[in-house]
Amino acid sequence: MRIATFNVNSITARLPRLLAWLESSGTDVLCIQETKCTAEQFPADALKELGYESAVNADGRWNGVAVVSRVGLEDVVKGLPGAPAYGGVQEPRALGATCGPVRVWSVYVPNGREVSHEHYVYKLAWLEALKAAVADDAAGDRPFAVLGDYNIAPTDADVWDPSFFEGMTHVTEPERAALEGLRGTGLADVVPRPLKYDHPFTYWDYRQLCFPKNRGMRIDLVYGNEPFTRAVKDSYVDREERKGKGASDHAPVVVDVEF
């Protein structure tokens, strides 16, 4: 079974590439972030033609998440239980679903903007809500994973130059401590295993030739519980999908599991 996560940076702009990637990659379950569309605009019909069911939590703003699956889609939960609001709005940043033998959450963690910004405070509160919301599933016997754009680089090795990010969000100790808290529920980062190349970054800014120069960050993560991580047979970042015209600024992260 192949499970992946992908921040598409607008599913409308990326749809032809996304459909082609789903076919070529053989992905069974895909967690999507940053749909940038309303639920009504989500291309469920186009995905259905490929054999995928869709569950969407989106409102047309700069957020939006989804799970698409060709192995079943049940017990959908839209929105993160207990999540804080920002500007009086409950942003569509999380969606849970059961796909065959595995339970997944697709999450798009708030960016945080700047350490001095109220959005940073919101980010930390949102991560605390995520920890509480997934604790039972994380500790359970069913394979379970939280996949998505965490907007946090877990270690200094996950950014191209730690000194460049000094004083910025994505690398601060409180953010990394929040990841540690998430791992404390029984989850583990399943991707740092022997990969096919060094520095498996997942995001590269469009500007300043960041992708050709490999000035990236690893912020798209897959955190699984023990039954999930035990089933992992391979994992990789599909850098090829970041190449060429019309690519997202993120690359898909793919995990192969055998239950």
Q: What is the pLDDT of residue 191?
A: 85
Terminal-residue alpha carbon distance, the chain: 8
> What is the residue type of 237?
V
Q: What is the pLDDT of residue 192?
A: 63
Rg (CA), the chain: 17
Residuewise pLDDT in 10s, the chain (259 residues): 999 999 999 999 999 999 999 999 999 999 999 999 999 999 999 999 999 999 999 999 889 999 999 999 999 999 999 999 999 999 999 999 999 999 999 999 999 999 999 999 999 999 999 999 999 999 999 999 999 999 999 999 999 999 999 999 999 999 999 999 999 999 999 986 545 556 689 999 999 999 999 999 999 999 999 999 999 999 999 999 999 999 999 999 999 999 9
Q: What is the pLDDT of residue 194?
A: 47
State if pTM tops 0.95. Answer: yes
Residues 7, 31: Cα–Cα separation, whole Å = 8
- The DSSP secondary-structure symbol of 51 reads T
Q: What is the pLDDT of residue 200?
A: 84
CATH of domain 2-257: 3.60.10.10
User: What is the sign of the dihedral through the CA atoms of 196, 211, 182 and 56?
Assistant: negative
Q: What is the pLDDT of residue 161?
A: 94
Q: What is the pLDDT of residue 129?
A: 98
Concatenating the DSSP letter of every residue in 97-149 gives EEETTEEEEEEE-----STTSHHHHHHHHHHHHHHHHHHHHHTSSS-EEEEEE
CA-CA-CA-CA torsion for 243, 244, 245, 250, nearest 10 degrees?
Answer: 0
- The strand ranges marked E within the chain are 2-7, 29-33, 53-57, 65-69, 74-78, 94-99, 102-108, 144-149, 188-189, 203-204, 216-217, 220-224, 232-237, 253-257
Residues 38, 155: Cα–Cα separation, whole Å = 34
Chain centre distance of CA 56: 14
Q: What is the pLDDT of residue 195?
A: 53
User: What is the sign of the dihedral through the CA atoms of 146, 242, 161 and 169?
Assistant: negative
Q: What is the pLDDT of residue 242?
A: 97
Whether 190 contacts 145, CB under 8 Å: yes
